Chains A and B, each alone.
Chain A
Amino acid sequence: MDTREKDIENLKDYKYGFTTDIENIKAPKGLNENVIKFISNIKKEPKWMLDFRLKAFERFKLLKEPDWQKPKYPKIDYQDLYYYSAPKSMKDKPKSLDELDPKLLETYNKLGIPLQEQARLNGIAVDAVFDSVSVATTFKGELTKHGIIFCSMSEAIQKHPDLVKKYLGTVIPTTDHFFATLNSAVFTDGSFVYIPEGVKCPMELSTYFRINASETGQFERTLIIADKGSYVSYLEGCTAPMRDENQLHAANVELIALDDAEIKYSTVQNWYPGDENGKGGIYNFVTKRGLCKGKNSKISWTQVETGSAITWKYPSCILKGDNSIGEFYSIAITNNHQKADTGTKMIHLGKNTKSKIISKGISAGFSDMTYRGLVDINSKAKNSSNYTQCDSLLMGNKCGAHTVPYIKNKNFDSNVAHEATTSKISEEQLHYCQQRGLNPEEAVGLIVNGFCKEVLQQLPMEFAVEAQKLVGISLEGSVG
């Protein structure tokens, strides 16, 4: 077998596993004040930003890595990582796509995310993040017309410092937990979205994250602000090349919804999960938190988690404004040696706040899946309600499925309901499908898609189709 054939063979399982051969600028290896200054300097950041980073780093030095999670991993040597890596051609930021390194364009074409606007099927504005920098943002003109700011975080720090200063770190403060604080110190790029008062964003906004360089941690930071009465739907996709090493991805995502605003945040996470023996893959340790700051605001998280060696994240909603709504829809699929510990937190602070959690977990192979969630109803959150449903599906007896919900109700006016089931695909259902001419694999695919339907239908159209396919691919080889 020549190398090319081998490549093709490899790619069959994880088609995004290729690497882009491109020259990089890297920060010196390791984590220290100089590296942070290097990052800040290369991004030409103002002093307040550097101070923000250094403050976080001071705090980080005091923190211990948490170890209460279910999936254990070998100790990460934080001094043996690159904290900044960017394609050399990005040093002087290209002004338009024509100036962009063709290799990067090709990479995104290969991933199915053409950056040329005319090539897009329908209007979805994309911010493409490659390792530590944002390489391009599309449809800027159209968005500017509506007063919407959609750009990379670095650009926002330069051009909209007031907004960044006002909101950055208000939902995930620099004093948060280990990984969030690490991110605050060394974050490199990410997306920034601001929707002005009363504006309904005319198109879906999306960010595509790509890890390419090896021995590099990706620390992106996304901040979305929906001003009064506005609406935005935001999508996020992620892939990485196949490598034998484990790579760390520790992002922070902050959402802020003011009065009557609504943010819909969808993720299809397909980082490289490692090979079938559990070698390699991404550690996806992400902090995502949304703040329903204003009255009648709404934040909705939808996630399809199929990739990563270890997924460890809890997209959360802090329901501070009265009548605010938080939603969480999740599908998590683990196969082979993948591990996931995911769920959500719904913190009810305001009156009449409502939250809904639908979580579907599927584990196959030797994988391990945990739903961990918190519903906390504060004593002031009068007349609030929560509904939680988390179902798990097991395929085979080498995998595990766990449910660990925490329920705290301190308000007698509020209702909390929680349901969870764990089972396998019933023989009757399989038999029924096979009787009608489906082969076992198709039958399982159909049943699993039915199982996930409540979540899949929350995704925007284009994503839903993609996600449905992904669900099928992730479970390939787990039947029988």
Chain B
Amino acid sequence: MKEQLKIDFNKIQEVSNFSNRDIEIKKSYLNKFIKNGFPNRKHENWKFLDINQIISNNISDLSFYNDYSIENKIDSSIFIDDLEHNKIIFINGRIEKIDFSYEDKKQIEIIEDSYTIDKSENNNSLIDLNIALSNKHFKILIKKDYSLKKPLIIYHLTNEKMKSKNINLRLDFELEQNSSLKLIDFFSDDSEKNFMNIFYNFNLDSDAILKNYKIDKSLNKNLKYSFNNINQKQNSISETFVFSAGSDYFKNEINCNLKGEYSSAFINGIFSLDDNKQHEIRTTINHLVENTKSYQLIKSVLGKNTKSAYQGRIYVDSKAQKTDGYQLSKAILLDETSEFNAKPELEIYADDVKCSHGSASGSLDDNSIFYLMSRGLNYKQAKGLLINGFLLDVIEKITDAEIKDLLKKMIGLKK
């Protein structure tokens, strides 16, 4: 793999026009990645699902070079019709279209190739890989007091041309004071056996609001990793929702730094898995100042041969008095081959805090099934009703009514 990486890295440098400085930075990250390789179960964060093993089991001859010179045809049938929206379209990792037609152009700035590499130490070799190999890189800036009129949907599409490839994407979002953005990540794949590595960085200035919905619904055999880093200033709010179902492997990492007072972070997630799927959500909420709040709710429904993992970490700094942190994870195991793992972690250094977590897993409640069947439903209907009710709880947490409806329709909770 090392040789392949070096060859592909050089190829990428040849066709792109990076500055010398960027190439140096990228090279150093590449070397770091080559040294550490893909993370494996020896790393605490990868204990439950070992990406190194999963990649080597699923993808043979992984290659890292993607030819971005040819434009891909956009299949508009894939677009979400029920909702007017702005678009960013990625096909096979190539950015095909940026369309903010519903918005005031003066209020949104799209900056190309602005490198803002975090100097902060990261121990995540997938981020190293991302920085080393990501191609074009955009920063979207939303100006002060501007709220996007319509949601932005980022389409992550792939077609059959792609095979055994690694794609690295990076987007930065800068939300200035009192601005707001609703962002939907929509995944749809016609390819198989690729590894996608997506890195978003959000900076929320005071009073800014970010709502990010990630929808991985269409069934596919790709492996995906997504990392959201969210920095929040005073009074800002972030809401992240993950619907994790379609890909063979999907790990969502969300890292929230609550740096301003009265900022809050909400993370809700659903795993709805069947047939050999392995998904994970890992969250880290860093409460760094007083009066911050976080809330997390993760629910899993697990079918045959599936595995889901939730690792949630709440860190409370000794300065962060009056923190309110909450985590809850629940799982229904439907088959004897399904597996649920959880590691809800609290790390607390301040005394005037309210932090709690809960986790429960088990099978469907026999009494509830009996109750429904005694009222005329058959077993399948009763089971379906209970599962829908279980998941609806999470959907109801979505604060945007339009998007909530969209999701309910997608999942089949509403016609």
| A407 lies within 8 A of B343 (CB) | yes
**Chain A interface, DSSP helix/strand/loop, else mixed:** strand
Q: Is the CB of A413 within 8 A of B358?
A: no
Q: Does A122 contact B (CB under 8 A)?
A: no
Q: How distant is A377 from chain B, measured CB to nearest CB, in Å?
A: 9
| A404 CA to B47 CA, complexed, in Å | 14
- Of B139-147, B232-240, B360-368, the stretch lying at the interface with chain A is B360-368
Is B356 an interface residue, CB under 8 A from the partner?
A: yes
| Residue in chain A with minimal CB distance to B351 | A394
User: Which B residues between 301 and 357 are near A, CB-CB below 8 angstroms?
Assistant: 318, 321, 331, 333-357
| A403 and B351 contacting across the interface, CB-CB below 8 Å | no
Taken together as a complex, chains A and B put the C-alpha atoms of A396 and B321 apart, in Å, by 11
* Minimal beta-carbon separation of A34 from chain B (angstroms): 36
**Known contacts A399-B351, A400-B348, A403-B345, A418 near B335 by CB under 8 Å:** no
Q: Tell whether A395 is near chain B: CB-to-CB under 8 Å.
A: yes
Give CA–CA (A385, B331) in the complex, Å: 14
A398-427 contacts to B (CB < 8 Å) = 398-424
Q: Mark A122-136, 1 if CB is under 8 A from B, else 0.
A: 000000000000000
Inter-chain contacts of B344 with A (CB < 8 A)? 403, 405, 407, 418, 420
Contact (Cβ within 8 A) A417 B360? yes
Bound complex: CA A379 to CA B355 (Å) = 32
Q: Are A414 and B360 in contact (CB under 8 A)?
A: no
Whether the Cβ atoms of A405 and B334 lie closer than 8 Å is no
Interface residues of B in 59-82 (CB under 8 A from A): none
Q: Are B358 and A418 in contact (CB under 8 A)?
A: yes
State how many angstroms separate the Cβ of B111 from the closest Cβ of chain A: 41
Tell me the complex Cα distance, A394–B340, Å.
31
What residues of chain A lie closer than 8 Å to B276, measured between beta carbons?
A: none
Residues of A within 8 Å of B, CB-based: how many? Answer: 34
By beta carbon, the residue of chain A nearest B310 is A407
CB of A400 within 8 A of CB of B347, answer yes
> In the docked arrangement, what's the CA distance between A428 and B184, Å?
45
- Determine the distance from Cα of A426 to Cα of B196 in the docked complex, in whole angstroms: 48
- Expressed in whole angstroms, the minimum distance between the Cβ of B292 and any Cβ of chain A is 15
- The answer to whether A396 touches B342 (Cβ under 8 A) is no
B357 partner residues in chain A, CB cutoff 8 A: 403, 418-420
Report the nearest B residue to A393, measured CB to CB: B351
Please determine whether A379 and B336 come into contact, CB atoms closer than 8 angstroms.
Answer: yes
A379 to chain B, nearest CB (A): 7
Q: Please tell me which one of the listed residues A395, A412, A422 contacts residue B333 in the complex, with CB atoms under 8 A apart.
A: A412
| Chain B nearest CB, measured from A392 CB (Å) | 7
Residue B255 lies at the interface, judged by CB distance under 8 Å to chain A: no
Distance between Cα atoms of A52 and B75 in the complex (Å): 70
Query: Are B354 and A404 touching (Cβ within 8 A)?
Result: no
Q: How far is the CB of B43 from chain A (nearest CB, A)?
A: 11
Q: Is the CB of A407 within 8 A of B346?
A: no
Knowing A409-B333, A411-B333, the reply to whether A399 touches B349 (Cβ < 8 A) is yes
A395–B338 Cα distance when bound, in Å, is 42
Chain B 355-402 residues near chain A, CB threshold 8 A: 355-363
Contact between A402 and B348, CB atoms less than 8 A apart: yes
Cβ of B14 within 8 Å of any chain A Cβ, yes or no, is no
* Cβ-based interface call for B44 (8 A): yes
Q: Does A48 contact B (CB under 8 A)?
A: no
Closest to A380 in B: B336
- Verify A422–B346 contact, CB threshold 8 A: yes
**CB-CB under 8 A for A405 and B348, given A414-B362, A421-B355:** no
Q: Quick check: B334 and A412 within 8 Å, CB to CB?
A: yes
Smallest CB-CB separation from A418: which chain B residue? B359
CA distance A418 to B355 in the complex (A): 14
In the complex, A412→B347 CA distance in Å?
30
Least Cβ–Cβ distance between B99 and chain A, in angstroms: 44
**Of listed A379, A406, A407, A408, residue having the most chain B CB within 10 A:** A407
Partner of B356, one of A402, A407, A412, A420: A420
Question: Can you report 28 A-B residue pairs in the complex whose CB atoms are below 8 A from each other?
Answer: A379-B337, A395-B351, A396-B351, A397-B349, A400-B347, A400-B348, A402-B345, A402-B347, A403-B344, A405-B344, A405-B359, A406-B341, A406-B343, A407-B344, A408-B339, A410-B338, A410-B339, A414-B363, A416-B360, A417-B360, A418-B342, A418-B344, A418-B359, A419-B356, A419-B357, A422-B346, A422-B354, A423-B354
What 9 A-B pairs are tightest by C-beta distance, nearest first?
A412-B333, A415-B362, A394-B351, A418-B359, A407-B342, A421-B356, A403-B346, A424-B351, A422-B355
Interface residues of A (CB under 8 A from B): 68, 379, 392, 394-424
B interface list, Cβ under 8 A from A: 44, 318, 321, 331, 333-363
Interface contacts beyond A403-B345, A407-B340, A424-B352: sample of 5 additional A-B pairs, CB < 8 Å, sorted by A: A397-B318, A397-B351, A408-B339, A415-B361, A419-B356
